[in-house]
Structure 1
Amino acid sequence: MMKTITRLHKAMMVLEYFTSHSWAWSTENMSMLQNHMSPEDKKVFNFDVRQLHWAEYMEDYCLGTKKYVLNEELSGLPAARKHLNKLRNIRYTFNTVLVVLIWRVFIARSQMARNIWYFVVNLCFKFLSYFRASSSMR
């Protein structure tokens, strides 16, 4: 536990300046530069953030922070990802069970909810049987 607290404290101290100050950003110069660039320059010096793949960018950002700012090893990442996937699956299972239980209680107490449920299930079965029939005709 002390190792974790020490690492957390170190991370807080390294990032304190950036997290505790207020920043004002202006994009006027960037917009002016982009408007004055030729099409060839725009291809070479592409700095349009709308074209970034944000999920990949954030993953690289976090990995870079972990490796170069916090000086931590990246060898534990596969195990951490496996653990996060396990926790995600547990959360999805728990949420599904919770929704089903709440829905069952709601259906058990309301005739209108029961009728809507039977209608939706019947509609799904008709939809599936239509696709089975149309796929067997080919």
Structure 2
Amino acid sequence: MMKTITRLHKAMMVLEYFTSHSWAWNTDNISMLMAQMSPEDKKVFNFDVRQLNWAEYMESYCMGTKKYVLNEDLSGLPAARKHLNKLRNIRYAFNTIMVVLFWRVFIARSQMARNIWYFVVSLCFKFLSYFRASSTMRY
């Protein structure tokens, strides 16, 4: 735990200046510059942020911060991602079980609710059997 707390404290100290101050941004100068640039200059000096792949950018930004600012080792990243996937699957399973229990305890007391329940379950079984059958097919 001390290692984790030390890393967290170090990250907080590095980012304290940026998180504790207020920043005001405007894009007036960039808009004016883009309006005055020729099409050739726009190709050479491409700084239009609307063209960024933001998911990829944020991934690179976080990895760079972790590696170069916090000086952390990235070797444990695949194991951490695998662990997060496992936790996500556990959460999905838990939520599904809770919905099923809620349905069975509170809603399934009426005949109409039971009929809907049996319809949904049979639909799920048909869906699963279709995927089982289609996964064994050779194309």
Residue 43 to residue 114, structure 1, CA distance change in 2 (3 Å) = farther
Q: Distance in 1 between matches of 2:69 and 2:14?
A: 8
Determine helix, strand or coil for the equivalent of 1:5: helix
1:52 equivalent in structure 2: 52
AA matched with 1:59:
E
1:104 equivalent in structure 2: 104
TM-align CA RMSD:
2.4
State the Cα deviation string for residues 43-96 of structure 1 (Å, max 9, x = none). Answer: 222222222111111111110000011011111111111111111111111111
- 2:5 matches 1:13: no
CA contact (8 A) 2:107 2:113 kept: yes
CA contact (8 A) 1:108 1:114 kept: yes
Relative contact order, higher structure (CA 8 A, sep 6+): 2
Report percent identity of matched pairs: 86
Q: Distance in 2 between matches of 1:79 and 1:118?
A: 40
Residue 2 to residue 119, structure 1, CA distance change in 2 (3 Å) = closer
Aligned length: 127
1:88 equivalent in structure 2: 88
User: By how many angstroms is 1:118 displaced?
Assistant: 5.8
AA matched with 1:38:
S
Structure 2: 5+ residue stretches without partners: 128-139
Find runs of 4+ consecutive structure 1 residues off by over 3 angstroms. Answer: 110-122
Q: Distance in 2 between matches of 1:121 and 1:77?
A: 39
Q: With the length of structure 1 as denominator, give the TM-score of the two structures.
A: 0.79
Determine helix, strand or coil for the equivalent of 2:108: helix
